[in-house]
Amino acid sequence: MTRQQRDLYPPIEPRESGMLRLDDLHTMYWEVSGAADGQPVVFLHGGPGAGASADHRRFFDPRHYRIVVFDQRGAGRSRPLGETRDNTTQHLIADMELLRRHLDIERWLVFGGSWGSTLALAYAEAHPERVTALILRGIFLCRSAEIDWFLYGMRKLFPEAWERFAGFIPAAEQGDLLTAYHRRLLDPDPGIHMPAARAWSTYEGACSTLLPSPETVAAFGEERMALGLARLEAHYFRNRVFLRENQLLDEIGRIHDIPGAIVQGRYDAVCPIQNAHDLRKAWPKSHYTVVPDAGHSAMEPGVRRALVSAAERFKNVA
C-alpha cells in the first residue's frame, strides 16, 4: 500500500486535554495529539451531538500534524450532555474560535464529515482567514429537503429501519415525526427520553453503512451517543440548523480560494450524493472523490482511505 493509499494511522493517545469553559452553562472537552509544533488540524464530529472518538485522531499523520479534537457543546464528554439551551450553529462557530485562541493557533486545516461538513463550511465562511484548507465528507448542506429526506425519504432505501423509527411513535403522530420525537427527547424523564433517543440514533446507525453493520448500530445505541445525537439533531432540525435556506451555497464565494477536498460515498443514504454534487458545482476548485462502494460512514474502507489521502495532500498547505 502506497503512502497515498494507506488506511488509518495507528492508535495514539492525547498529549494534552482539558475542559474549556464556554459560558455559564456549557463546558467543552478538547484534546491535542500528534506533533507538538506540527501543522494544526481540527476534527469536527457529526450529528449534531455525536461526539468524537479515539479513532478520529487516526486520519492524520501524528508525526506531521498537531491534531485537535473536541466534543461540540452538548455532545460527548462536553457538559451538560444533550443540552439544547444556548446551542446553535453560531455558538459552535464561536466555540471553535475560542478553542483556536486557547491553543494559540493562528490558522488550521478544518476536517469534518456529515454534520461536521456543515459546521466546517459555516465556520470557514464566517472566518475564511483562519482556514488553510477544508476536508469534507458525507456532505450535509442543511436544506429543508435534506432534513425531510432523513425523516421520511430514507424509507425508500431502508424501509425496515424506517418502520422501526416511525413505529416508535403512535400512528396519530407519525405525520410529524420531528415534533413527536422532539417532545419525547426533551422530556426530563429518562424513561421517556432514552427509549426515544435510542430509536432515533439506531435508525441513523442502521442507514449509515453500505452493508449491514451490527457494530455500528450498537455504537449508535450507546447511551451517551444516543442521547447527544438524537436530542441535538432534533433540536437543530426543528430550527433548520440556525441557517438560512441554502446559506452555505449562497456564501460559498467566501471560500473559493481555500483548497478543499470533498469525499463522498456513492451510496450514502443519510446524506445523498446530490448534496456533494451541488457543493462541487458551486466550489469548482475543490478536489472531488466519489467512493464507488461506500455509504455514509467515515469508517467505510474506501472513505477512510480517501480521507487519509486528502490529509496527505494538504500537508504543508499554508
- 213 catalytic? Reply is no
Q: Strand order of the sheet with strand 260-265?
A: 16-21, 27-34, 65-70, 39-44, 108-113, 131-137, 260-265, 287-291
Could you say which of 33, 61, 95, 114 is catalytic?
Answer: 114
The Cα–Cα gap between 153 and 229 comes to: 19
Task: Compute the distance between CA of residue 279 and CA of residue 286 in angstroms, rounded to an integer.
Answer: 9
CA proximity to 180, closest of 191, 170, 194: 170
Helix (H) or strand (E) holding 29: strand 27-34
Report DSSP state, residue 1: -
Of the residues 61, 71, 95, 268, which is catalytic?
Answer: 268
The cell numbers describing 97, all together, are 474560535
User: First and final CA of the chain: distance in angstroms?
Assistant: 28
For 312, the enclosing helix (H) or strand (E) is helix 301-313
**By three-state DSSP, how is residue 203 classified?**
helix
Q: What span, in angstroms and rounded, lies between the C-alpha atoms of 248 and 279?
A: 9
**256 catalytic per annotation:** no
H/E segment holding residue 15: none
The reply to whether 114 belongs to the active site is yes
**Residue 205: which H helix or E strand, with range?**
helix 190-206
> How many CB atoms within 10 Å of residue 315?
15
Q: Is the dihedral of CA 306, 311, 317, 318 positive or negative?
A: positive
Catalytic residues, by residue number, are 114, 268, 296
